[in-house]
Structure 1
Amino acid sequence: MKKLLLFLLCFSTLTVFAQPTFTENQKLESLAKVWGFLKYYHPEVAKGKRDWDAELMAKILAVKQARTRQELSHLYAGWLTSLGKVKRCGSCDNNLPDSLLRNITFEWIHDSTTFTPTFSQQLDYIRQNRAQGRNYYVQRRYKFFKTQAYFPNEKLYEDLPDLPAEEYRLVALFRYWNIINYFFPYKYAIGESWDHVLADMIPKFRDAAKPVDYQMALLELSNRIHDGHNFFGTKYTYQYFGYYHVPFQFKIVEGKALVTGFYHERFAKSDGVQLGDVITKIEGKPIEEVLKPNLKYISGSNYSYKLSRVHAVLFTGHTPSLQVTFEKDGTEQTKEIQRHQFARFGYKPDSVTAKGKPWRMLNAEVGYLHMGNLVAKDVSTAMKEVLHSKGLVVDLREYPTPITHAVAAYLKPERSHYALMTYPDLSYPGVFRPNYPWKSGSKNNKNHYQGKVVVLVNEGTMSAGEFSAMNLQTAPNVTIMGSQTAGADGNIVYIPFPGGYKASMSGLGVYYPDGRETQRIGIVPDIEVKPTIAGMQRGEDEVLQRAIQFITSGK
């Protein structure tokens, strides 16, 4: 008898220890996923009659206290019961090709370490019989892009303190994570598991002890999608890097900071800083070493574009001076320079209209169009002046005006496709469907431009600029020249955070007609040309010079 009792005691002990153990992080991950899934999939939740944020906040403590997958699944199953029975959906298509499902996965539903088989079946039933028709939380904006999603009914909680309570911080994280999970067209291309991002960010939101901790977590989270269309900032994110700025402008070239202009020339020159100066180190550290830990706070689809947006990070600080190392004639010199609050500069950026005529002949053989300054009413005049040139340079290195279709009509002999968009299927969140192809040009245009066309691009070529490059590429004799573009093509959709903040993302997928991608990759140059420090110090536009050489010599 004693042996039997001892056996039963050992067996029961082993059974207890065999139960999967949960970390708090894992339980909160499951809550984020279940809550977001029900928000966009459950027919009752989609009506918007329940305060879904409040229901999330009410579940946090109970989820934290669950000890096993059985307890957790029982808790969630009770939640489903409270929502009512889901009717079978006769119109739901659940047999989609893999090409439409590459941006979404439901593997988490069947995670046997987190959920019981019964609860997994309940979730999968909801997936197959999901909400159809209008969803309170995600709708379509019927403006220029009639297929983009937007989120008009998220609560803003604008009266929250700068460090809201934990439950509101988790609402912020879970809301954003699920919007990206179901409605960001390039989730598959961010370069890491979106599930891993959730697991990584939960402690940063849960444990934030100061306003700056929380808001830097918001900034980091919004940048984890690696999308140049994300823009996020608060007074605390700016405070994190400091309010003191150097009085000069700069550009990262060859891994060094090249002084290219001034916010306040007198302040800069009082420290001996001149145009063309090269800075190699800040406080004894190489430029790239200073940048590395801060890249997670810089929005951008690729490294090239991020380097163009480092101005708020690289030389700013909390003290009015810093040590920088200059390089000249092969030697380095370190000295202290002064920083100032930006308002002291009284800086006003130059107007783009002050850059000269947006079209002209560069020489007897080569015409030039600046797509950032050329306006629609002048396209006909401009094209008549350059129509008989040997070659034409189209400069897309700045954000273009909406004239590319008009220019393409002069360059193309026929009307043809140049881009394909994908849009979110709100009846099956996470699915993106192809839209109608975009076309440009005119039929049977026998008088189209006959010369070579060189389109100039760089990291400043973004969104509409990249879309314009795709358009112009379909004309004959077109060469793309320059360096990697921003890799953020498509429209902008805003995502509201609790506290009145908002981030943004690309809302539609943009591809070449054959399916090739541009997100993060950018428009790939046929001929790569990058500015050099030496060329910029001489005041030369080396990319434009190379384009002229290519047109005139063919090499």
Structure 2
Amino acid sequence: MKKILLIIILIIAQSIHSQTNFSETQKLAATCKVWGFLKYYHPKVAHGDFNWDKQLLEMLPKIYQAKTKDEFSLVLENWIDSLGEVPAATPIALTKDVQYFDKNFDLSWIKNKKLFSENLAVKLKFIEQNRFQGDQYYITTFNAGNVLLQNENYSNFQPNSKESRLQVLFMYWNLMEYFFPYKYLMDKNWNTTLEEMVPIFINAENEDDFYTAMKKLTVRLNDSHAIFYKYPIKEDEQKKNINYFPAKCKIIDDKIIVTKILSDSLAKADDIKVGDVITKINDKTIKEIISENKEIVNGSNEAFYLKNLEMPILSGYSDNVKLEFLEDGQYKSKMINWYQVHDAHRNEYRHAEIKEKFKILNNNIGYVDMGLLKIKNVPSMIEKLKLTKAIIFDLRNYPNGTYKEISNFLNSKPKEFVVYTKPDLTYPGRYKWSQPSITGLENNDNYKGKIVVLVNEETLSQAEWTAMCFKTADNTTIIGSQTAGADGNVSDFDLIKAFYTRFTGIGVYYPDKHETQRVGIIPDIAVKTTIKGIQEGKDEILDRALEFIEAQK
């Protein structure tokens, strides 16, 4: 009898434990998912029949009060019931001639028995099966198929309000959950990110904490497009001006190398020269700085992360900075001035940087700076370079939409070069494969020489896409280092007037459906810039291209 009684007590204890064994964070994360799901799936919510942000703010106190799974689930069930009946629709048939991409699609959380009752799970599944099929109220697509937010209003956003901060977190997390094409490629699972971010947003003590939290959230996308700008909103911030190091730099082997002087006069004042090696900033090693900024500086890969890190660590509101230099095997520290880059300094830099859009190098080799070439310049470029034995297209920059005209010149016939995934607004979270895009045309008079494309971490987005396009030509070789790994039209928003952010909006793949996101454009011949090369004034990637053209290997 005692044994039976003990078993009964244990069963009751386990039952009580199971009813309370979920944290406030898990509860809010689950609420976020349900709120976002209803926003895009519930026929009346997705149609815009409710002020959905207001509904969330009204529901949060009830969510806080729920102490057990059953209480929590009942709050959500009552909320769903209050939205009105969801009519059972004729089974929604998927289009037969459409190929779906489902690596992002995951509604398995609906069946989470630790958080949701069986009755709630059934209600959510029913809504999925009878989801909204009209024009979404809060989201639409434009241009190439990437999403555009609409009918969102955050004009009353208050960063000092916990509920306001959660509202922003919920909105952003669900936007990425359903409409970021590369969610499946993130370093950390997006569900895990939500649970980790909830307490960070809740505990933000001031505006700066909130903006830091948002920056950390956007960095979790692992997307080189996912920039985050904070607008000055405080009077004291508006009066501040950021000061800069008077040179461009590059991080190589845990060191910062000066690559270009932005103002001869300013650099001369502190004896800054191309090739200088910086090993510490304010007594921190560059390796330490690289490590500690991982959460707040974005990048699809390490190469672009390091590029993105270069400016913020050599700028700030102070007037000077302590730098340690490595010179002739000796470490030397000195105070260096930071400057506001005035127009006089910019003009000085621009004058020194005047370049030709295209030219013929030694040995009848053409060179095109794709960052300078405009569509109107393409006919002249073709006329001048069409009889060269090779053309080097330098894509270590951002091009100006010249791919079509150049591709028609390079290719002898039309070829597939890219395929996309685009969001399906009738089934949020699912994506459709597009038909392959074609480049080039029938052209017996196409360019017959060697084609070389130069790339590095500066090769971002349209530049990567252009490299894919040029690769289809009969005799193309890509030379350089890993590109930025963010290839696809951008979706951006600044609904909350205190900041602006964006993300890659469509998936971009090779015709065989291999990824470019995070990976970047893989060079046929890998060449990395070295400290020694910079100090010797060499362009090692260009030099390797010239060597390849002459040696044909």
Contact 1:248/1:265 (8 A) holds in 2? no
Q: Does 1:512 align with 2:510?
A: yes
User: Structure 1: which amino acid aligns with 2:324?
Assistant: T
Q: Which residue of 2 aligns with 1:152?
A: 150
TM-score (norm 1): 0.92
Q: Does 1:295 align with 2:294?
A: yes
Kindly report which structure 2 residues correspond to 1:522-533, keeping only aligned pairs within 5 A, or say none: 522-533=520-531
Deviates more, 1:15-24 or 1:451-460: 15-24
Contact 2:101/2:432 (8 A) holds in 1? yes
Q: Which residue of 2 aligns with 1:455?
A: 453
Q: Does 1:446 align with 2:444?
A: yes
User: Structure 2: which amino acid aligns with 1:282?
Assistant: I
Q: Which residue of 2 aligns with 1:487?
A: 485
List per-residue Cα deviations over 1:470-526 (Å, max 9, x = no partner).
Answer: 000011111100011111111111134544433111111111111010001100000
Equivalents in 2 of 1:474, 1:7: separation in Å?
Answer: 71
Shift of 1:360: 1.5
Shift of 1:98: 9.7
Contact 2:162/2:202 (8 A) holds in 1? yes
List per-residue Cα deviations over 1:385-406 (Å, max 9, x = no partner).
Answer: 2222221111111101111111
Equivalents in 1 of 2:478, 2:439: separation in Å?
Answer: 18
Q: Does 1:191 align with 2:179?
A: no
CA RMSD in angstroms comes to: 2.8
Q: 1:237 to 1:273 in 2, by over 3 A?
A: farther
Q: Which residue of 2 aligns with 1:415?
A: 414
Q: Does 1:128 align with 2:129?
A: yes
Contact 2:255/2:278 (8 A) holds in 1? yes
Shift of 1:106: 0.9
Contact 2:30/2:115 (8 A) holds in 1? yes
Q: Does 1:27 align with 2:27?
A: yes
Q: 1:532 to 1:118 in 2, by over 3 A?
A: same
Q: Secondary structure at the match of 1:73?
A: helix
Q: Which residue of 1 aligns with 2:426?
A: 427
Q: Secondary structure at the match of 1:308?
A: helix
Q: Which residue of 2 aligns with 1:80?
A: 80
Paired residue for 2:211, among 206, 211, 215?
A: 215
Equivalents in 2 of 1:344, 1:404: separation in Å?
Answer: 33
Q: Secondary structure at the match of 2:508?
A: strand
Query: Percent of aligned positions with the same letter in both sequences?
Result: 36
Deviates more, 1:389-398 or 1:345-354: 345-354
Equivalents in 1 of 2:12, 2:417: separation in Å?
Answer: 67
Shift of 1:119: 0.9
User: Structure 1: which amino acid aligns with 2:74?
Assistant: H
List per-residue Cα deviations over 1:220-242 (Å, max 9, x = no partner).
Answer: 11111011112211157997x99
User: Structure 2: which amino acid aligns with 1:531?
Assistant: T
Equivalents in 2 of 1:526, 1:473: separation in Å?
Answer: 10
Q: 1:106 to 1:95 in 2, by over 3 A?
A: farther
Instruction: Tell me the matched-pair count.
Output: 548
User: Structure 1: which amino acid aligns with 2:112?
Assistant: D
Q: Does 1:109 align with 2:126?
A: no
Shift of 1:337: 2.1
Q: Does 1:305 align with 2:301?
A: no
Q: Secondary structure at the match of 1:251?
A: strand
Equivalents in 2 of 1:385, 1:286: separation in Å?
Answer: 49
Q: Which runs of 5+ in 2 are unaligned?
A: none
Q: Does 1:373 align with 2:383?
A: no
Q: Which residue of 2 aligns with 1:37?
A: 37
Equivalents in 2 of 1:83, 1:436: separation in Å?
Answer: 39
Shift of 1:260: 2.5
Shift of 1:283: 2.9
User: Structure 2: which amino acid aligns with 1:385?
Assistant: K
Q: Which residue of 1 aligns with 2:197?
A: 201
List per-residue Cα deviations over 1:358-401 (Å, max 9, x = no partner).
Answer: 12111233111221112222222222322222211111111011
Q: 1:382 to 1:94 in 2, by over 3 A?
A: closer
Kindly report which structure 2 residues correspond to 1:459-474, keeping only aligned pairs within 5 A, or say none: 459-474=457-472
User: Structure 2: which amino acid aligns with 1:338?
Assistant: N
Q: Secondary structure at the match of 1:227?
A: coil
Q: 1:73 to 1:343 in 2, by over 3 A?
A: farther
Shift of 1:200: 0.8
Shift of 1:216: 0.8
